[in-house]
Structure 1
């Protein structure tokens, strides 16, 4: 059980670290350039989506969807809370300084990036037939085919 929560914590920390790195790059490299800061934010969302695509690909191969989806959701929610509330404080900004519109826009963009990443990873895994359910069905079909057929007497 500890391994399971450790993996969730590592995922949340990695997602938060990506956000902090993007905030620091924007703060020190492009403090007044809105175009560059928008590009860095876009790159951050792409990296977050990529991290979650790889994670869902790896976890989906080993465990049923119901088990890893909950773990992934907890990791994303923790990372989102850290990103929205703690991330701005690390670079000297107020989390609510941009107003309610910016605050909720961060949340929706973050959730959209995470959902897209998870969907891409799981759909690729399913298309390759390497997900947990596909492998179970393959084992079942092989087991049924390897048994001799029962003869029914009438």
Structure 2
């Protein structure tokens, strides 16, 4: 059980770290250039989506959907909380400086990107037939067809 929560914590910290790196790059390299900041933010969201696609692909292969989906959702929840509340403080900004609409837009955009990334990773896994359920159904089909039917005489 401790390893399960450790994996969730590592995933949340990794997602937050990507955001912190993007904020520092914007702050140190492109302070005042909005178009460059937008490109860095887009790159950050692409990296986060790809990370979650990879996590969904690996965890979906090993565990049932119901077991790993909650873990990913918990990691995303912690990461979005850290990203929105702590991330701006690390670069010297106020989390609510842009107003409520900017604050909630960040949360919404983060949740949309993470959901799309997770879904794409899992859908690729299902398409390839390597997910936990497909492999169990394949094993069942192989074992049930391998045993000949017993003839019962009366």
* Aligned 1:10-89 pairs, distance under 5 A: 10-89=10-89
Hey, what does 2:95 align to over in structure 1?
Answer: 95
Given the two structures, how large is their TM-score scaled by the length of structure 2? 0.98
What CA distance in whole angstroms lies between the structure 2 residues aligned with 1:102 and 1:23? 16
Question: Over residues 38-74 of structure 1, what are the superposed CA-to-partner deviations in whole Å (9 max), with x where a residue is unaligned?
Answer: 0100000000000000000000000000000000000
Q: Distance in 2 between matches of 1:152 and 1:104?
A: 68
Q: 1:126 & 1:140 partners in 2: Cα distance? A: 17
The aligned residue for residue 121 of structure 1 is: 121
Displacement of 1:148 in angstroms is 1.1
Instruction: Report the RMSD for the aligned CA atoms in angstroms.
Output: 0.8
Structure 1 runs of 4+ aligned residues shifted over 2 Å read none
Structure 1 length-normalised TM: 0.98
Q: C-alpha distance in 1, partners of 2:149/2:119? A: 41
Q: Which residue of 2 aligns with 1:104?
A: 104
- Tell me the secondary structure at the aligned position of residue 95 of structure 1: coil
- Matched residue count: 154
What stretches of structure 2 of length at least 5 have no aligned partner?
Answer: none
2-structure distance, mates of 1:93, 1:153? 82
SS of equivalent residue, structure 2 residue 32: coil
1:31 partner SS: coil
Question: Distance in 2 between the 1:76 and 1:147 partners?
Answer: 45
